[in-house]
Structure 1
């Protein structure tokens, strides 16, 4: 037994010393392994790429996403380049191979996704993507321009679940909730949803004297003025601003009301219909401001399949839960068996951007399956804009940015 443990142990003269390059290689390998474990099971860095969450989250906010909040998702595509999401830096091309796929599994976490959490998730419609324009929806593109035009212009590939693009939105509906948007106002289970002070939307200002926001308020609160001219000749003015700014304008003399600007149905304005989910203009004549009602699927819950709702749940049954689905002579067949109902095997969520009129969210591509959830937005560690670093946002929890 060696008692003088504080004394330096004599080096074995016969032991061969590692060359410097080997020491550096060992250190680099250890760093990559440690970083991969942290990224997979604890936290992951994410950057806000668009304005869909303004003003809660701003473009060029750098934040950490907690994997332990909902439980870390085990890799589903295990053969991949470490620390790279889906595309090789510099050279391009896939950073993974989908030849090996593992089933969805999630380790225990601190809790479940809660209503109004800010969540990072894999974009559901990104199972098929345009390599040159991965952030946009392939399915919307082929509806607008046609499949042949899209395939001629872009390189089209498929992606496994955990290699789809990452999105960030606010969860406004959890499994079993009823979601509806009426006149631009969100309702959850027939009650008006929470409106956050920094949540942006377009508003109409009603005034007998033609009151408009003063220029100093426009500059201070970053109010954007949008003019809409419809094909039938009507003109509408909408002001894009935060909810708390709308409250200030309501108190101005001469203002009778400040109400959410409503995108009216095409029949009333001559507008081109929006490509809202599930793109069923016969049974679901909806748009971003008048949407639903929709029931969010819950694991173990069953739904009766009808002509009115089959377009809403078809993708869930066929794509997310991997069943063969057919419709013949007005009857539905799941895995070659006639079915009048379906029982869901996963939980689903409804996510929307805080910038309601500048967000492609569940209103356009539907439900987010539980196996697509990456983690909970935790805190901002760096933020910068046109005027440099936004010092007041540094090391702020996402919850405090909503106040």
Structure 2
């Protein structure tokens, strides 16, 4: 009899107890959706968040169309600064220009304990600090636009870029194995997109059809038997691909395109006080919590924006030669938090710390850990839409 009752209960709806109304399907659906949203929001905040790569600044380490997971646990999860926000959104409600948040409540942000710290060479997601990179909007820190770059300098490091090579505390920092740089190629063959795609050069090549300092179109190449017109290309690619190109007999010249030391690029951080460009930058010291710097024209050029914008000081007056806080001129300054220096692996096509400065510690989101899906935005055919060789690739 007992067995019969247990089996019977599986085939008949459970009766509601006295005073309890039965759940209707709509209510069950709503409860399921609510649970899923709450669970996803907690996972996204505490443990792991999914991102996609929209630009080529990290190629060839990360490709446009890569989908990756970013760990919040490595460096510690930040407590929310902006709690009034539509779940699972960032700045806007999906598909609209309607803000997905309210700043009516702003909380102090703290970082929960993590099991490591940001290290040299880590691939890091962060909220990019400058306002002009956030559509000119003064977003709260946790809602600023997400960027992904490689950490080159940690707090206290002395950093310098010389002829593209990065030096940390006087020692050469090896370039990431799949990092890209810009080269100029002279060939006797016209190359098309399909050729470059075979070498994973998708977003970064250009047919030079106008005069430049290095190249005049249709330059003539003379040998003992014939005269041939050369074709010029600039490409951003890896050192391994360049070595393959050197083996082709129709490639007549390859040279790296590098800015000269002392040439000032106006858009570079620290100029015009310092004559830096994106291939020759520094030396400068990455700010460290508790470190003190004197205030003068040179330190203001690199640390003035930090003191004014990211140190949570009130009433800062900044000029090229002086800094005042609450009306009092200062002759030295002690940093309140750590900072980091970030660069893209595609060194010649990356808007990074060389252009806009340091990343404050409270802007760090998490560590990129692996690519779980990769879709080619411009595949040669539908069968090549998924980059199968990139699925579940760890990021190093």
Shorter-chain TM-score: which interval?
Answer: 0.7 to 0.9
Change in CA separation of 1:230 and 1:222 when aligned onto 2, cut-off 3 Å: same
Query: Aligned partners of 2:351 and 2:209: how far apart in 1?
Result: 19
Q: RMSD across aligned C-alpha pairs, in angstroms?
A: 3.1
Change in CA separation of 1:250 and 1:293 when aligned onto 2, cut-off 3 Å: farther
> Helix, strand or coil: the match of 2:57?
coil
Q: Map of 1:1-400 to 2, 5 A cutoff?
A: 12-126=17-131, 129-130=134-135, 138=136, 157-203=137-183, 220-222=198-200, 224=205, 227=208, 235=215, 238-248=234-244, 260-264=256-260, 273-278=265-270, 280-281=271-272, 283-323=273-313, 324-327=315-318, 330-385=321-376, 386=379, 387-399=384-396
Count of residue pairs brought into register by the alignment:
358
Change in CA separation of 1:54 and 1:103 when aligned onto 2, cut-off 3 Å: same
* CA deviation vs aligned residue, 1:139-159 (integer Å, no higher than 9, x gap): xxxxxxxxxxxxxxxxxx321
More moved, 307-316 vs 6-15: 6-15
Task: Give yes or no for contact 1:266–1:273 (8 Å, CA) kept in 2.
Answer: no
Change in CA separation of 1:350 and 1:256 when aligned onto 2, cut-off 3 Å: farther
Change in CA separation of 1:301 and 1:226 when aligned onto 2, cut-off 3 Å: farther
Bigger CA radius of gyration: 2
Cα offset, 1:104, TM superposition: 2.1
Change in CA separation of 1:186 and 1:86 when aligned onto 2, cut-off 3 Å: same
Task: Give yes or no for contact 1:228–1:235 (8 Å, CA) kept in 2.
Answer: no
Task: Give yes or no for contact 2:293–2:332 (8 Å, CA) kept in 1.
Answer: yes
Query: Aligned partners of 2:16 and 2:102: how far apart in 1?
Result: 46
More moved, 348-357 vs 213-222: 213-222
Runs of 4+ in 1 over 3 A off after TM superposition: 6-11, 126-129, 210-220, 222-231, 233-239, 246-260, 264-267, 327-332
Task: Give yes or no for contact 1:71–1:107 (8 Å, CA) kept in 2.
Answer: yes
What TM-score do the two structures reach when normalised by structure 1? Answer: 0.79
Query: Aligned partners of 1:319 and 1:159: how far apart in 2?
Result: 13
Task: Give yes or no for contact 1:128–1:158 (8 Å, CA) kept in 2.
Answer: no
Change in CA separation of 1:226 and 1:182 when aligned onto 2, cut-off 3 Å: farther
Unaligned residue ranges in structure 1 (runs of 5+):
1-5, 131-137, 139-156
- The answer for the alignment partner of 1:147 in structure 2 is none
Change in CA separation of 1:391 and 1:331 when aligned onto 2, cut-off 3 Å: closer
* CA deviation vs aligned residue, 1:162-200 (integer Å, no higher than 9, x gap): 111111111111111112111122222222222122111
Query: Aligned partners of 1:190 and 1:159: how far apart in 2?
Result: 37
> Helix, strand or coil: the match of 2:83?
coil
